[in-house]
Structure 1
Amino acid sequence: AIHQILLEARAGTALLRGRPVQPGDIAVLVRSHREATLVQRALAAVGIPAVAAGKQSLFATSEARDLRALLLAFLQPADEGRLRTALATVLLGQRASAIASMEREGDLQRGFQAQLLHWRERWQRGGPFAVVADVCAAQGERLLALIDGERRLTNYLQLGELLQEASAQALGMHGLLDWLQGQMANADQDDEQQLLRLESDARRVQIITLHKSKGLEYPLVFLPFVGIDGGAPNTATHCTVHLQGERQLHWKLDRDDAWDAASSQREREQRAEDARLLYVGLTRAEHALWIATGDLAGHAKTRLAPLLGDLQALRAHADVDLDDSTPPGRLPQLLAETEGELPAVRALTRRVPHDWWVYSFTQLAHADAGNSDDIEAAATELPAPAADEPAGAELPLEPALPEAAAEDTAPPDPRFMGSRFGNVLHDALENVDFALWTGWQPQQPAPEGQADVLRRSLHDEGYADEDLDDGVAVLVPLVGHTLTVPLPEGGALCSVPEHERRAEIEFHFAIEPTAVPVLLQLLHDHGISSARRGFGLRRRLEGLMTGKIDLTYVRDGRWYVLDYKSNRLPGYSPDLLEIAMRHSEYDLQALIYTVALHRWLRFRLGAAYDYARDMGGIRYLFCRGLEVAGNGVHVQRFAPELVDALDALFAGGEAAQADMAARARGETA
């Protein structure tokens, strides 16, 4: 009947609200998932798209089990059993004959294992979704040819996305397997994130259980199984019945009166439930309802039988149509409908630049530190807050730094040095309450509640519990001096109101193709990165510049960029800080941060913004040297012409590029 309706709809004779009937207008109501599968296969066999509708958790699907089998094989590529299990999944779809021949053909097995190792490496480098997407692309033609291929393919990709999100927690492959198995064991059909998603499901015949159809309506409804009773003898060893407002469990220890009474009660309850479900099925249709009846197994025992006892009387009703014709033995295949001609494959005409990348100061500064691929290796990762600080005990400085000027003479504790502790300090300064430190004095403990913030920063960076108290003791003076040191513009950080400062502003700004020699010429003209002769092997920079500014604040209407440094230096006087800034190219970092803030303010404030008037400059606080008055604070403000020129150069301005190129060649602009 469904086949006939859809044929007539294509001929323009089966209409619904003035338009041809679509498969999505039709619902088949069943009692169990087994019946749903039977209907779906029967419809697919004649080319009718159908979907088992209703809520179902993604983690309860066979696709989740396929990915679990694949992940198990990744963990032990040499395990033949796991390899065979993965190959036998619908996802990989190897024939049984090919899997069996692995026993005799060693090259075939080695080929499968090599592919597995390739995917494992791809997983480790690019994450779960990269592998799932690659496999689905390779197997897409075969999967889409299956009855429910689109559904399966969508499930695989959706699971890949969820696995990718879970992998961000640094679980590792074993941890990710545990996470997936936990999700499968606790699959929740009411969790929105776990629900299946496929937009084309709405355009298919909906197959849904009577239980889940409660409260819903469908234009056309089919009830194929309500006239069939299983009729199987009751062989249950226990049953649950409802008596006196509570559920009671009865065990069949013997065929006695108590069991007979409980079994009879269970039978009555089942008949009542059958009647309720039949009522649900009979009342779901908006326009038309099809019911299968006749000489069916156990028909007389069903709740439908009394309603259709006199078919001849029903035949007299104008709204009832009895179709007692012999069904055809074989139905023709219903050809798939296409929404117009498929468009031609678009040709690639735009050149994709190979030099387009994502840069940060840390990656640029390390670009020629022995590995020209450093930028590429970390291009999609935002460096940690202290990634630009030394990982070892202290920062080596130029010989020009006088040893006699050394001020930081306290014996260092190796536990609280390097970039790891720098990350702790940055996190602590991001999360402490600035105002609470206003009255802090040296040798005093942290203000009330602030020690817990410092301890949490240490713990989150992986410090052992027995080191936390010592770490807090080191952090308190560093944080205290940082927040109370007088700043050149007046006041201290602890006096900056919360609404006038923002911590860890992340920025991304575009870099149009910029020739490295031209860029270096501009920097050198202004005394920035004077010793640098290139950025690795790159001849030009193009892409995005990214980073995080430790603190941006406003004082008296002027904007400031501030960066915390935990470097341990031999001295922290202004002259020595100038050497340290140039040695580590922090002057280049400060310039990049200034350009980022300059672009943002110009975008947000428009004509109301003027760099010369509104930009206060940069403040680099070397936290270990702030205890001595006048030390540890590096102050700098870049000339407006430098900021404007670099901004224009990164923006690809023709005039700026030509001018810089001419100057690089020694010509007069």
Structure 2
Amino acid sequence: IALGSRLMGMSLYELDRLNHDEVFWESFIEQFRSLHHHWLSFGVMATLHRFFTEQKVTSRYLNDANGERSITDLFHITELLQQASEVVQGQQALIHHLEQCITSDASGEESRQQRLESDADLVQVVTVHKSKGLQYPIVMLPYLDYVRPVKSSDLPIEYHHTDGELRLTFTPEADELKQADFERLAEDVRKIYVAMTRAVCAQWVGIEDPKGTKENPEPELNSAGHALVGHCGGSVLTQYKDMKEVFTVAEPKEEVKAYKPSEDLAPWDARRVEDLGIEPWWIASYSSIQYGAKSEPVFPQSTEAEKAIDEQISDDDTEQSESSASGKALKLMHRLPRGSFMGTFLHGLIEWAAEQRFETTEGQRLLGFSAAVADDDTRLDTLYSRCRKRNLAEFALGLSDWLKDFLSTPFDLSTLTQKSEHSLRLMDLTPKHIAVELEFMFAANQVNTMRMDELVRRHTWQGKERPMASFQALQGMFKGFIDLVANIDGQYFVIDWKSNFLGSNDEDYHADALQEALLKKRYDLQYVLYLVALHRHLKERIPNYSYDEHVGGAIYFFLRGYENPETQGLVMDKPPKALIEALDQLFAGEQEVDHV
């Protein structure tokens, strides 16, 4: 949708080329990835200005009708986003802020409008206050006789005493109200002076006689338009008519009748939209997959008793065991608040650590996780800053120590890689061996989610019970972000961070509990889809690529349980090659994959 917008200015030929020329498509992916990093480094305004320059937005818009206005609006929006970026945190928050501004009723406020010099030729509606210091060829003052007298209910009442002092009263007397209204009239006269001195050539004044009664045919003149000229015989207009050197009176046309629509006219029938043959097309992700009833075990011979799984999947809803519920959580990771916001916070913290740089006193330059481990001061300052913004200041020092310990801990991968004493320390991963928040997107051609899910359940975790995916037809693109892709000893691994709360003690993060949480949340489907994306990527990049040789599998870190001596909070799996290839074919539109 974005590539087809006016802002990009792409022709129909170029848009069609995106569907057939992968190199052309990836050039745009690289361009927007570069803009993304530019935003992180220099801010939203610099990024948008760079985008306008690269896409020649200004020159293209100037060739269009009303192009000057469009360009001005774009740069004005850029300035507003830059101002908002100083208040809201993060790119997604700024995008959400822009969406709110677009849909909000306040989007028409003057602070969000910008005028052009060419607007001088347009009719402008301004208040008397705003017109001060400006001039216009012709000025129209339609309500010169408007008045709002001061009332006793307009509390508090301000007026000047005879001694010149400003006074304030909440119980005004009649003479105090009269004085306050006199001062209001004086202020109205001053404003009328401003209004009537804005015109260069001519001005039009709308005024009518004050309405009197039988008892008082000549009422008191309370408006500035009336009081300035007075009245003669109960008429103010007579006074204006007599000032022929100043005013020319235009009498109203009393014979003009208001427009009334003909009763014979009937509304036309609404046009009906015929079937245009447009197929549904959308961008799906793992989180957009819906789940229905729990599945039956794929393999009936499995006799392992399993608990029922809730149909709805949510974060941190696993009940604590009786032993852990009664015990007091002492360790930091078990005392952290529960909920998705905590997971987002920990994700951001690890992502920050992966991008650090530090030079030791010996002159050694460290990059990535190792720099975050070595630079205690920067790590602690960052934690204090981030925690204060989220009311987590009491955890800042503990989280700094946790992050250092977590990145330094050797994690046993031998059960996954089948290599004896094979361990991983995250701090040993250098930036050239990892990709943080790796984004992917590939085509989805009429993918039946129930068929996709059935394949995953059959080939993972011995077909154990888990929530089943509801029917959806994925047509368009499938996208996602992988927390970390790491090259470990020549094999590529999908790594994900999970903050699920499974209990208040390390013992609660045993193998069965981790497996149950993984299946209940359907993380199995998540990492399989991530491995399909990785498989497709490596297949195009590595000569003589082999899934069995180059892909190591998926490693899920349950962060709260990393100190469990048996599991270290790890869930690891490498789905069979047949499953990955079957799903690859399924997304390519090949429905006949029953042989796996």
Give the TM-score of the pair, scaled to structure 1: 0.42
Give the TM-score of the pair, scaled to structure 2: 0.46
